[in-house]
């Protein structure tokens, strides 16, 4: 078995003087998908933010390729694609402009590649309209188009199926599964029951104490 790419060791998270979880262990290897489950307020988004290096744990450690995450910030940035619960796009910019700006933070994308990514998520013909004129589902698709633009191997996604229609859900499920089967990694939260799961799928339920996901 390959060594974990990302590893959480005895993590604890406290928010607003309330303990969300503790003694949490998790490993993530190439080809694997971990779905974080649990009721509202159990710390699902907080755990994603910890794994993405956006928060610090109250206790425990996160390791990237066996080293403490705080020593691997540049490596994490090169290997991570984070999409939060909000679409994270600017309403006054077009889908093309949003994606060009977001990609420039890591690997710049050509106009052709951006248009192809937008076509892949069903937004052909909407490349140059202001995003504030799009529906919530279309704005979500703009954000998800990043998954088609030569993305890094680790995807951390908070409720990626929000506002998608049935066709969009099925397409995203298939794309996530293909990414994992090709050796990529996904950690996600969703209230949606996944109909398509890669062979490396596991669930980590934050409603349980003494949690471990190996």
Q: What is the pLDDT of residues 53-106, one digit of tens each?
A: 999 999 999 999 999 998 998 999 999 999 998 888 999 999 999 999 999 888
Residue 211 pLDDT greater than 70, yes or no: no
Domain with 145, as residue range(s), is: 6-213
Considering its fold, how many domains does the chain have in total? 1
Spatial separation of the C-alpha atoms in residues 14 and 46, rounded to whole Å: 9
Q: Is residue 62 part of a domain?
A: yes
Q: Is residue 1 part of a domain?
A: no
Spatial separation of the C-alpha atoms in residues 63 and 212, rounded to whole Å: 15
* Predicted local distance difference test score (pLDDT) of residue 17: 85
Over range 129-136, report the average pLDDT: 96
Instruction: Quickly list DSSP for 119-178.
Output: HHTT-TT-TTS-GGGS-HHHHHHHHHGGGGSS--SEEEEESTTTT--HHHHHHHHHHHHH
Of 37, 18, 28, 8, the closest CA to residue 205 belongs to: 37
Taking a C-beta distance cutoff of 8 angstroms, is the pair 101, 175 a contact?
Answer: no
Taking a C-beta distance cutoff of 8 angstroms, is the pair 6, 64 a contact?
Answer: yes
Q: What is the mean pLDDT of the chain?
A: 93
* Predicted local distance difference test score (pLDDT) of residue 213: 52
Look at the chain and count its residues: 214
pLDDT band at 172 (very low <50, low <70, confident <90, very high): very high
* Predicted local distance difference test score (pLDDT) of residue 42: 92
Cα angle value 171/101/133 (rounded, 5°): 65
Q: Is residue 43 part of a domain?
A: yes
Q: What CATH number corresponds to the domain at position 134?
A: 3.40.50.300
């Amino acid at each position: 078995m390959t060594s974990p790419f990302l590893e959480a060791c005895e993590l604890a998270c406290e928010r607003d003087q309330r303990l969300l979880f503790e003694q949490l262990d998790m490993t993530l290897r190439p080809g694997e998908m971990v779905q974080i489950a649990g009721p509202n307020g159990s710390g699902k988004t907080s755990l994603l933010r910890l794994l993405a290096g956006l928060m610090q744990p109250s206790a425990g450690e996160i390791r990237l390729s066996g080293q403490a995450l705080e020593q691997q910030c540049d490596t994490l940035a090169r290997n991570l694609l984070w999409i939060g619960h909000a679409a994270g796009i600017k309403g006054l910019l077009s889908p093309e402009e949003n994606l060009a700006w977001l990609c420039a933070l890591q690997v710049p994308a050509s106009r052709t590649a951006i248009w192809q990514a937008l076509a892949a998520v069903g937004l052909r013909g909407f490349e140059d309209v202001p995003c504030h004129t799009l529906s919530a589902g279309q704005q979500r698709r703009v954000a998800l188009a990043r998954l088609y633009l030569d993305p890094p191997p680790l995807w951390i996604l908070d409720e990626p199926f929000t506002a998608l229609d049935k066709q969009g859900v099925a397409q995203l499920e298939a794309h996530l599964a293909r990414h994992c089967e090709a050796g990529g990694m996904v950690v996600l939260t969703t209230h949606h029951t996944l109909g398509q799961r890669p062979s490396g799928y596991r669930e980590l339920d934050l409603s349980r104490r003494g949690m471990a996901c190996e």
